[in-house]
Chains A and B, each alone.
Chain A
Amino acid sequence: MSAGLDNLRHVVVLMMENRSFDHMLGCLTADDSRIVGLSGNESNLDTQNEPVKVQPLAQFQGQLDPDPDHHFPSVHQQLFNGQYAPGAVPTMDGFVLNYYQQQKDVNHSHKIMYYFTKDKLPVLSTLARSFAVFNGWFASIPGPTICNRAFAHYGTSFGQVSMDVFYYSKEYLSIYERMVKNGHTAKLYYFDQSSSTMEVVNLLQDQPQLFGTYPQFLDDCKQGTLPEYSFIEPNYSDHEGDDGGEQLASDQHPDHDVQAGEYFIASIYNAIHQNPDLWKSTALLIVYDEHGGIHDHVPPPACTPDGFVANPQATGVPGLSFAFDRLGVRVPAILVSPWIPKATVVTGPEDKVNGRTFEHASIPGTVTSHFLGNYDARSPREKAAPAFLDLLSDQMRPETDVPVFNLG
């Protein structure tokens, strides 16, 4: 066991919303060729049969409105563009054509190929370059938020591929319930009551004791009372706070302000970093739930089937059942800890020898393995998902070697 792992007392996961790897971090290939981002030549055809290259023109807000469709049928088009066959490798060339359907505006459909330059995302790009960035972290399902977030909580979506309400099977407990039942501590922190949690049906209404709020997270960091496992949800809406002040959505879900999300991520990092005892004993994973319909060029790989099958009525694609045997689109994922060597790049499918493919089931899988050890009542996907805490090394980096975010 490494010294970093030996010192680890807390795992914190911050799950943001709806941005693909290439959209947020694709520019970093220019700085470090080990990062599997964009060369600038990746393209999709538009409805005029003209190639549309990726372009570094992404703005914080105002481009991806309406919200790009990312329900199962649309993602199916984005991945295969009508070329689907069982076992086929996704072609990743249907993003522009799919987005066109929402506005019927050729120029507008090109914006789905835009990506950010690193100067626009100082927090995410700094963390990616300073700690560990994953080349191969994929959404768990080629579909929308709720079912993908379920994988982070339960290691499965219990056969769901949509946003519909569903009730989970007690066969697989949430990671929070597993922790608490075994004498450990865990909490989901939602932003505030106007934002609430996406786990309202399955957890909040029956087990409110598992929840806290973002201000409580900040307090828990300051007081040294953070649970062993914490999951943080950003603010999902623009709304007025109890004091009448404006609360800007920080989830980065289109068309919310991406810069507000940057600020939020920095605040989470700072809260942990500013408590020296917490800093040396915590690993923070920043990850996105799914791609939100936005372009990424890496084909999602096949994966261990989940033991469930969504029929054609559930998938919304005529004649297509889905056995949860292929992952969703690649998303940004960064692991932060002072025990991670600077500029670590975790190789993915591009590395045929040592590459590892992560997905959201890796979250409960990793937390369970670290805190609980052997635990059999887990989904096949979670059992197969690789853990990520082996990235912690024996050397703790000095303060002069880690970023400090000055919040303006």
Chain B
Amino acid sequence: MEDIPILKVNNAEVIKKQKEKLDKLKKERDEKKVQAALDRITKAAEKVREGVYEKDYNLLALCVHAAESLATVGEMSLAMEKVFGRYKAEVQTISGVYLREYRDVGDEKEMETFRKENQKKLALIKEKVDLFIKEDGRRPRLLLAKMGQDGHDRGQKVVASSFADLGFDVDIGPLFQSAEDVARMALENHVHVVGLSSLAAGHLTFTPSLRDALKKVDLEEVLIIVGGVVPPQDYPELKANGASLIFGPGTVLTDAAIELLDLLLKRIKK
């Protein structure tokens, strides 16, 4: 793939600056006024939940007012969370789709070579999975994690469904997790691999923090792989920070599975 010029944002620097700005804001604003504005939001939220829709309880207007008093967006949403709770994204997946697609043999001639090749790959993957089970004692287990403010979970679902079809046990992590959340799930589920799905450009921040969090719970042996929208320019830095394999856009799922299994098998032999 040819190099596409990409604007690189130094995440650590941005976070630092943002935090400083927030601290400054919180020091300089009228705290009493902010709290009063936030309380009004909470109170209005209660009314709204009871079904009372009156002009005084217009949440948007109250949020504008709170913003004018220099409340942050986070504080406003927390004021409402007290009443409404936090949104929980339900994970729903189906399996069997990919296996069927790969196995399906149609009449079109131009598809035939493609399908034959895939049949071969599927057989190879099964062989490798079986070998892994024989050597390790357990089926290869993969946790697909989403970290930070990144709600794009279609890729996570596609990979989960297809890797399960290819013979992996796949754990699906909830959205918006911290490194510690992911490490805890990896620990309790005792996975061999954590796959970090990143589509909101957080990979350079999340990969090292995940590596550190895994180390903290004695899971250094767990492989980290990264998938999603990752520009090739970032590969070296990711690899230096704990990522064993990286799968960018356009990855063929079966190829990714083969690569991962080869690495897993190589590590057992060591």
A is bound by B:
no
